[in-house]
Structure 1
Amino acid sequence: MGGPLDGIRIIDWTIWQQGPVATQMLADLGAEVIKIEERERGDPGRGLTAAAGSATVKGGRNFYFEANNKHKKSIALDLKRPEGREIVHRLAACSDVFVQNFRKGVAQRLGLGYADLAPLNPRIIYASASGYGPEGPDSGEPSFDYLGQARSGIMNAVGSGTTTPTYIYGGIADQMGAIMLAYGVLAALFARERTGIGQEVDASHLGSMMALQGLNVVARTILGSEFPRITRANAYNPLWNHYRCADDKWISLAMLQPDRYWKDFCEVIGKPELIEDPRFTANARGWNAAALIVILDEVFAARPRDEWMRILKSRGDFIYTVVNSVSDLPDDPQVRANEYIVEYDHPALGNLTLLGMPVKLSKTPGEPRGHAPEFGEHTELVMTELLGYSWDDVARLREANVI
């Protein structure tokens, strides 16, 4: 069985990461995605040269573009030419969703704004990925992932024991912006099923990253202050902390109700004397947390992590797990069991390990396996089979450098 969006057609006029990932997520759910690329150079993501060392993989393929554009069909157009815009208008008339992530005003100047496309198809969902939202003094400013992290406050929320802003690699503002844009498109499609009308959707770096940090933001708005950037050495609850083990691997504890576990925990780690230690009673433990963390550091450093995992599993009902690196994830048995990564036989690159579906649907699961298109690979197919252009039309437009 296919995905829940089988039969939905999406026009993807996006570049880099935030927009492309949103449409790829929808493609994973079964939507047909037709990616419009600039006729001469294509999505600039195709040319990214540095990512985790090098972005180029076998045969000159680009890791970054492959990661963000699975399943899609690519058509290459010169949108500065009226004939190129006419092709997009004809696509919009027979599609469900139009997605773009260019600076405010670009689409309108080219005749590809919502006001231009909605008369052609009143049911169309017009989705925009922006930096700072559709309104306000900075709504027209350009943004990349780095600026999304900077403006949203997260660079001053992550990291511990420092006042220096910390950037998180991997494009998380782009990823979160993509998730929220896809969420908005799904909501708009559902609303259209009930009302029959299309609408505009906007998801920004700023709004999406604020949503990601929702509890921290609301702590500021309701309580007056955000969560502090504390170090693990002075965490108020030592049973909500992480510890280095003898093999230099880390274990994380997450016992939010420490009194519930305190007696059993002390016995299991071989420190029963801590149970009645006046420094660490329920009322005093938080005030003396730093001293307790020093003790627990010594305890956990005495055994390798696997041994601690076995001890905690077999001798109590504790809440804990390993601290992974990103490099650990592909081999994590829990990741494999849930197919959060999947194997795919790429037609050009051979076997690849790709991100799987983060959400499980039992009847319409979707399909995360797929590959990105060659530049302009589907231009003629889309024009002739979907839009009704003749082969003479295609030849004329190609000769005129429109496609």
Structure 2
Amino acid sequence: MTDILHGVRVIELAAWTFVPAAGAVLADWGADVIKVEHPETGDPQRGLINSGLVPGAGGVNHFIEQPNRGKRSFGLNTSSPEGLEVLMKLIETSDVFVTNLLPDSRARMGIDIDQVRARNPKIIYARGHGYGTKGDLAGQGGYDLAAYWARGGIGEAYAAGDGSYPPIQRPAFGDVYGGLSIAAGIVGALFKRERTGEPSVVDVSLLNAAIWQLGPDVVGAGITGEDIPRFQLSEMPNPVASIYKTRDGRHIAFVLLQADRFWADFCTRLGRTDLIDDERFANAMVRFGNRADCITELRRTLGEHDLAHWEKAFEGFDGVWDVMRTAREIHDDPQAIANGYLPRTTDANGNEFALAASPVQFDETPMDLECAPGHGEHTDALLAELGFGEEEIIDLKVKSVVL
């Protein structure tokens, strides 16, 4: 956590990962992010098991921890008149309201733009949605597997192209990227309000996030009238901008875009100096024409030794290369450790674990993150901040308005 957004209060009325991920980034940057959850059910992700992993020791739920760290949880039934009024009092004290509720739900609950701005004219109103604010799908929900991975073209871009099933996206893959985009939009709106006094409405859709991330393909396809070609690894145009398997089943990615500059040293480190003067591979253009033969030679050579051998052979190599790591291995990555990219935190049960830091550092200072709040953990404190007395709080609890 840093102090970049110190003094900024954010009300988050959202569930799952997409919009809560935005709140997590804002909390990382120092904002006071208040997560409003139903007093009985809470964020449905609190009970979700979808990645093949069950909560760990002490009930640690990574689906809750990663997108909700550093927030305060307010157990509030916003569908009741009393609960809506409490929410509005909270909104009056805040700088930002962010939600993923669909248009019909916002209108029915009385929390659409005009209703929120009637209580706080200067509030920034931010929305995360699947398909945008206009068109036939404006009112339709959209998880990232549908709106981002499927309709946005990401999944097809990674498909084999042979009619087989395309790859399934990793959990929340589009959500966390879309959430970072919402956070950036909110900060831009805060800057505008600071300069002009005018609040903005911020919108980010998962579909637009995918189009932006796949921009080179999408723009290129629009210009050429055809999808950008997908090359199998066995036919990559530049054989030294590709992935190769080692004897022990690991993979190395080489990114030698200036291939001729590095070719001699590359071949020397491979122990294949014979390839340097091989007329089939004399320069990048010739290698392109003979890429099948070149890739065959490189695959055979790199497959003769284990990863440890090649890590030593390419130590100090000026060309860009790296080993394809697993998520578990990243926890031991010296670069991730040195830069504080996986800060550790401890929850209320004493469980210590690492969280993935959001990707912006300020003043070269790693994030110091707090765990996600328990369901309704800060309800009483927030009601007291709003001026509710002890008897009023008890009455709201008796009426099941708050947790």
SS of equivalent residue, structure 2 residue 344: strand
Structure 1 residues 51 and 266: CA distance shift in structure 2, 3 A: closer
Q: Would you say the 8 A contact 1:122–1:197 is kept in 2?
A: no
State the partner residue of 1:233.
234
Q: In structure 1, how many angstroms separate the alpha carbons of the residues matched to 2:322 and 2:311?
A: 8
Is the alpha carbon distance of 1:281 and 1:19 closer, same or farther for their aligned partners in structure 2, counting shifts above 3 Å? same
* Structure 1, 139-148 or 220-229: larger mean CA deviation: 220-229
What code does the residue aligned with 1:362 have? D
Unaligned ranges ≥5, structure 2:
none
The one-letter code of the counterpart of 2:66 is A
Residue equivalent to 1:250: 251
Alpha-carbon spacing, 1:257–1:224, altered in 2? closer, same or farther (3 Å): farther
Which moved further from structure 2: 192-201 or 276-285?
A: 276-285
Show the 5 A alignment for 1:257-268.
257-268=258-269
CA contact (8 A) 2:128 2:205 kept: yes
What amino acid does structure 1 have at the position aligned with 2:70?
A: H
Compute the displacement of 1:323 (Å): 1.2
Q: CA RMSD in A?
A: 1.8
Residue in 1 that maps onto 2:118: 119
The equivalent residue for 2:20 is: 20
Q: Deviations over 1:334-371 (max 9, x none)?
A: 111111112223231422122134222117x4744211
TM-score w.r.t. the length of structure 1 is 0.94
In structure 2, the partner of 1:401 is: 400
Q: Do the aligned residues in 1 keep the contact of 2:361 with 2:367 (CA within 8 Å)?
A: no
- The AA in structure 1 aligned to 2:156 is N
Deviations 1:179-220 (A, max 9, x none): 111111111111111111111111111011111112222211
Secondary structure, counterpart of 1:372 in structure 2: coil
Task: Tell me the residue number matched to 1:302.
Answer: 304
Superposed CA offset, 1:306-359 (max 9, x none):
222222234x42221111122211111111111111222323142212213422
SS at match of 1:178: helix
CA spacing shift, 1:161–1:257, aligned 2, 3 Å: farther
Cα deviation for residue 287 of structure 1 reads: 2.0
Cα deviation 1:114-145 (Å, max 9, x = unaligned): 11111222221111110011111111111112
Task: Report the TM-score when normalising by structure 2.
Answer: 0.94
Which residue of 1 is the match for residue 372 of structure 2? 372
Closer, same or farther: CA 273–60 of 1 in aligned 2, 3 Å: closer
* SS of residue in 2 equivalent to 1:392: helix
Aligned 1:154-303 pairs, distance under 5 A: 154-160=154-160, 162-163=162-163, 164-282=165-283, 283-303=285-305
Residue 159 of structure 1 and its aligned partner are, at CA, apart by 4.1
Identity of aligned residues (%): 34
Instruction: State the match for 2:332 in structure 1.
Output: 331
Q: Which moved more, 1:180-189 or 1:275-284?
A: 275-284
State the one-letter code of the partner of 2:377: E
CA distance in 2, matches of 1:99, 1:366: 26
Q: Distance in 2 between matches of 1:108 and 1:366?
A: 41
Distance 1:402 1:256 in 2: 61
SS at match of 1:371: coil
Which stretch has the larger CA shift, 198-207 or 254-263? 254-263
Equivalent residue, structure 1, for 2:47: 47
Question: What do residues 2-51 of structure 1 show as CA deviations (whole Å, max 9, x unaligned)?
Answer: 42011100001010110111101100111001111112211101111343
- Flag as ranges the 4+ runs of structure 1 deviating above 6 A: none
CA distance in 1, matches of 2:368, 2:67: 12
Q: Aligned partners of 1:40 and 1:265: how far apart in 2? A: 61
Helix, strand or coil for the counterpart of 1:313? coil
Letter in 2 for 1:60: G
Q: Deviations over 1:82-141 (max 9, x none)?
A: 111111111111100001001222112211111111122222111111001111111111
Compare 115-124 and 343-352 and name the one that shifted more. Answer: 343-352
Instruction: Look up the match of 1:6.
Output: 6
Secondary structure of residue in 2 paired with 1:286: helix
Q: What residue is the counterpart of 2:70 in the other structure? A: 71
Give the CA deviation at 1:161.
5.2
- 1:147 to 1:347, Cα distance in 2 relative to 1, 3 A: same
Structure 1 range deviating more: 268-277 or 331-340: 268-277
Which of 313, 316, 330 aligns to 2:315? It is 313
Shift of 1:263: 2.7
Q: Deviations over 1:268-305 (max 9, x none)?
A: 32323323333223332112111111100111112222
Q: Is the 8 A contact 1:30 1:367 kept in 2?
A: no
Tell me the equivalent position of 1:30: 30
Secondary structure of the structure 2 residue equivalent to 1:112: coil
Which deviations, in whole Å up to 9, do the C-alpha atoms of 1:51-108 show, x marking residues without a partner? 3321x23333433112221111111122221111111111111100001001222112
- What is the CA–CA distance in structure 2 between the aligned matches of 1:296 and 1:265, rounded to whole Å? 11
Distance 1:2 1:150, change over 3 A: closer
3-state secondary structure, aligned to 1:188 = helix
- Matches of 1:143 and 1:294, distance apart in 2: 43
Distance 1:65 1:33 in 2: 15
SS in 1 for 2:253: strand
SS at match of 1:152: coil
Mapping for residues 343-362 of structure 1, pairs under 5 Å: 343-362=344-363
